[in-house]
Structure 1
Amino acid sequence: MSATDATTPAIEAVTALGLDHEVTRHGRVNSLEEAAAARGIEPRDLVKTIVVRRAEEDYVFVLVPGDREFSWPKLRALLGVSRLSMPDAATARQVTGYERGTITPFGSTHAWPVIADAAVVGRRISMGGGAHGVGITVDADAALAALGAQVADVTE
C-alpha cells in the first residue's frame, strides 16, 4: 500500500462509526483556501479542528468553519473559565496523536470534548483526515452526533 492509499486512525474511526464519508487525498497545501480548492469545496465547508487547553491535562476540540475565526471571549464564557490557551505543536501532538494541520477528533488518542460552532450545522463538511493532504468529507450533523459535540456560537 502506498502512502497515498494508507489509512489513518481518523479514517478508521469514521468507518467504525458507520458514518457515510468520502476520503480526499491531495498533496500538501499552504493555506486553507488551497486545501478547500483541492477538495472541491468552499472554504466555509472546510472545518478546522483547534485544540484548546482548559486546564492542566484538560483540552477541548473546537470545530470552526474555514471562513471564520473562533472567539476567545465566547469560548471562555461557554466553558465558564477566565483563561484558555493553545498548546504548542508538540503538546498538541501528544494529546491528540496528530500533527498540527492534520488534527481531528476522529481517531484522536484521547476523546476530548468537542465544541462545534453553530455555523457548521446542516452542511456537508470536510475535516482533517489525520495526515497531511488527507480530508474526510461527512454530513456535519451526523459527525457532530457521533462525536457528542456541543453546538454553540463560538466564532466571529
Structure 2
Amino acid sequence: MTELVSGQGRGGGAGRKRFLADAAARGLAVELVERLAASSLEEAAGILGIAPGDIVKSLVVKHKDGSFLFALVPGDRQISWPKLRQLVGVNKLSLPSADVALAATGYERGTITPLGSISPWPVYADSTITGRRISMGAGEHGYSAFVDADALTAALGAIVADITEPLQ
C-alpha cells in the first residue's frame, strides 16, 4: 500500500510517480512527504524531525564492467570500499558522475532510489539500517519517503551486510 500524505505540486513528478508505482507493485507501504529544500544532511534531518542516521542515502556504484548497483547507506556513515568490494567480489568499484548516475537510474542526485529506477540494479543495504523506519529519496526534489527498512530490503531482494564505516 502506498500513501501520498501531502503535495501533488511542482512539475510533472515523473520520478515521484515511478517511485510510487514501483512501491505499490511490490506491496511496499511508503509515506511520502513534501519538504523544504535542505543544504545539508543535518538540515534535512531537522526538517523531517529525525536523526541524520535515519536518512538513508541510495548511492549508485559503478562496476569496472560498466554495470551498476545501489548501496543503501545511513546518513551518518559512509561506504567501506574494501567491505563492499569483497562482498561484490570485485577489485574495483567507484561512484559515477551525476550525469552517469542519472542515465543509469533516471533520477537526479538527491532523489535517487532503487524504487522506480529505469534499470533494476542489485541492491546492497548496510545492516545498520534494519529494524527501524527510515527516510529516503522519493524520485523528486522536495519529497522524502518514510518506509520500514526491513520491508524495503525484502521488497528489493537486497543483500543486507556490513558495508559501511563511520563518517570521518
TM-score normalized with structure 1 length = 0.94
1:127-150 CA distances to partner (integer Å, 9 max, x unpaired)? 100011211101000010000000
Contiguous gaps of at least 5 residues in structure 1: none
User: Given the alignment of the two structures, is residue 83 of structure 1 paired with residue 92 of structure 2, yes or no?
Assistant: yes
Contiguous gaps of at least 5 residues in structure 2: 1-7
Q: Which residue of 1 aligns with 2:68?
A: 59
Q: Which amino acid aligns with 1:36?
A: A
In the alignment, the residues of structure 2 paired with residue 47 and residue 75 of structure 1 have an alpha-carbon distance, to the nearest angstrom, of: 17
Q: Which residue of 1 aligns with 2:5?
A: none
Name the one with the larger strand percent. 2
Q: 1:138 to 1:4 in 2, by over 3 A?
A: farther
User: Given the alignment of the two structures, is residue 93 of structure 1 paired with residue 89 of structure 2, yes or no?
Assistant: no
Q: Which residue of 2 aligns with 1:132?
A: 141
In the alignment, the residues of structure 1 paired with residue 160 and residue 62 of structure 2 have an alpha-carbon distance, to the nearest angstrom, of: 18
Q: 1:38 to 1:5 in 2, by over 3 A?
A: farther
User: Given the alignment of the two structures, is residue 39 of structure 1 paired with residue 48 of structure 2, yes or no?
Assistant: yes
User: Given the alignment of the two structures, is residue 10 of structure 1 paired with residue 19 of structure 2, yes or no?
Assistant: yes
TM-score normalized with structure 2 length = 0.87
C-alpha RMSD over aligned residues:
1.5
Tell me if the contact between 1:128 and 1:134 (Cα under 8 Å) persists in the aligned partners.
yes
Identical-pair percentage? 52
Secondary structure of residue in 2 paired with 1:90: helix
Tell me if the contact between 1:48 and 1:63 (Cα under 8 Å) persists in the aligned partners.
yes
